[in-house]
């Protein structure tokens, strides 16, 4: 049937030999129908590719079978391995549940429409705290991932970024490095802040003085990483090791070192964060911290599904990281 001849609920009822009310019940609660009527309606609906408008289903009191995913609209969002993995992870989890995805990029204005979805997953919270608070106040189903939430009314799935950063920095210290720099991420982002704190804690435990000259904050981009590297290597005593906030940033360190004829790992050791497969190719395999992004996304969907079905109360989950040792760290 062509798009210009879309079938109506009345026509479905007529073809199936049932009432309009029966078709409506099929759309919203198929199990409430007698098996014979359910099969009749299902057969006609499939044959005619009958796809009722989402708002009609909501007015009828049914579910939209659609979850929203809200992602911060920072620079180069769709070049971000993390963001793409979040979208992929949520998308795959929704597909298994036969649910649809509604993607919303938050750019500073609260224009998110809950009328289009049954619940929302927030991939981190950067400047949109009021947006989340509004939905919670409205008792709308919400789950936050990649950001630990203290509010007992909000479910969250986070990653132990502090521990991951601590172990990465400790690994460098155990290899004899005393001048360990950190190319940090945007400190408005909880994961970046936690990684910086983990780095600092490892230095303290290793009895290494903290010098702010060796901490350079980036926006997770390679461009800013390059600028900060110039600053680090203009210091009187440049670092012998660098812990990076992401694998993308670490890749820029490798590129910079190659240009400047700095031998990795003989002269400079490097550890990233993410375990981005795009950073595995070339002469050097990057030592990094693996974070379970897909698992985090899947759990977010699972929890939101249960909240929508009113099966569970809010949950707080923290997932652990894993240090992946490859080629870019050496003993000093």
> Quick one: pLDDT at residue 34?
86
Is residue 238 a part of any domain in this protein? Answer: yes
Q: What is the distance between the alpha carbons of residues 302 and 159, in angstroms, rounded to a whole number?
A: 17
Pairing of strands 288-290, 322-324: antiparallel
Ramachandran region, residue 237 (left: φ > 0; alpha: ψ -120 to 50; beta: rest):
beta
**Which among 45, 36, 38 has a CA at the least distance from the CA of 15?**
45
Query: Do 247 and 181 belong together in one domain?
Result: yes
Average pLDDT value for residue range 16-23: 89
Q: What is the distance between the alpha carbons of residues 223 and 240, in angstroms, rounded to a whole number?
A: 21
Q: What is the distance between the alpha carbons of residues 101 and 121, in angstroms, rounded to a whole number?
A: 10
Task: Please determine, for residue 29, whether its predicted confidence score (pLDDT) is greater than 70.
Answer: no
Is residue 212 a part of any domain in this protein? Answer: yes
Domain enclosing residue 87, as ranges: 66-160+293-321
Q: What is the pLDDT of residues 182-208, one digit of tens each?
A: 999 999 999 999 999 999 999 999 999
> Quick one: pLDDT at residue 4?
41
Is residue 330 a part of any domain in this protein? Answer: no
Query: Do 216 and 242 belong together in one domain?
Result: yes
Query: Do 310 and 246 belong together in one domain?
Result: no
Is residue 328 a part of any domain in this protein? Answer: no
Q: What is the pLDDT of residues 232-245, one digit of tens each?
A: 999 999 999 999 99
Residue 3: which pLDDT band, with cuts at 50, 70 and 90? very low
**Which of 26-40, 91-105, 282-296 is the least confident region?**
26-40
Is residue 24 a part of any domain in this protein? Answer: yes
> Quick one: pLDDT at residue 155?
96
**Which among 83, 143, 138, 76 has a CA at the least distance from the CA of 113?**
138
Residue with more model confidence, 22 or 161 = 161
**CA-only gyration radius of the chain, Å:** 25
**DSSP code of 91?**
H
Give the pTM: 0.82
**Which among 239, 242, 248, 273 has a CA at the least distance from the CA of 162?**
273
Task: Please determine, for residue 53, whether its predicted confidence score (pLDDT) is greater than 50.
Answer: no
Query: Do 155 and 12 belong together in one domain?
Result: no
> Quick one: pLDDT at residue 1?
44
The total number of residues written for the chain in this structure: 332
> What CATH number has the domain bearing residue 14?
1.10.260.40
What's the total number of domains in the chain?
A: 3
Q: What is the distance between the alpha carbons of residues 289 and 271, in angstroms, rounded to a whole number?
A: 8
Please state, rounded to an integer, the average pLDDT across all residues of the chain. Answer: 90
Query: Do 189 and 174 belong together in one domain?
Result: yes
Is residue 329 a part of any domain in this protein? Answer: no
Is residue 124 a part of any domain in this protein? Answer: yes
């Amino acid at each position: 049937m062509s798009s210009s001849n879309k079938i109506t609920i009345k026509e479905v009822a007529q073809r199936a030999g049932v009432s309009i009310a029966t078709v409506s019940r099929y759309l919203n609660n198929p199990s409430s129908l007698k098996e014979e009527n359910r099969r009749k309606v299902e057969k006609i609906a499939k044959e005619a590719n009958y796809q009722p408008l989402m708002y009609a289903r909501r007015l009828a009191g049914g579910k939209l079978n659609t979850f929203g995913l809200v992602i911060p609209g920072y620079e180069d969002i769709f070049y971000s391995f993390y963001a793409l993995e979040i979208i992929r992870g949520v998308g795959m989890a929704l597909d298994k549940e036969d649910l649809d995805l509604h993607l919303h990029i938050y750019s500073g204005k609260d224009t998110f429409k809950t009328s289009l979805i049954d619940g929302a997953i927030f991939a981190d919270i950067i400047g949109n705290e009021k947006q989340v608070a509004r939905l919670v106040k409205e008792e709308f189903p919400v789950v936050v991932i990649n950001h630990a939430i203290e509010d007992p009314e909000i479910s969250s799935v986070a990653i132990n970024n502090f521990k991951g950063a601590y172990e990465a920095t400790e690994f460098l210290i155990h290899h004899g490095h005393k001048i360990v720099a950190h190319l940090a991420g945007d400190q408005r982002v909880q994961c970046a802040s936690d990684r910086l704190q983990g780095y600092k804690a490892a230095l303290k435990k290793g009895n290494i003085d903290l010098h702010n000259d060796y901490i350079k904050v980036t926006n997770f981009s390679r461009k800013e990483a390059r600028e900060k590297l110039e600053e680090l290597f203009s210091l009187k005593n440049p670092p012998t090791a660098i812990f990076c906030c992401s694998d993308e940033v670490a890749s820029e360190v490798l590129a910079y070192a190659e240009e400047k004829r700095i031998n990795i790992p003989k002269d400079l050791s490097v550890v990233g964060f993410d375990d981005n497969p795009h950073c595995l190719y070339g002469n050097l395999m990057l030592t990094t911290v693996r974070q379970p992004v897909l698992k985090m996304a899947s759990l977010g969907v699972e929890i939101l599904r249960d909240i929508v079905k009113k099966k569970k109360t809010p949950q707080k989950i923290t997932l652990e990281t894993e240090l992946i040792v490859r080629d870019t760290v050496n003993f000093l």
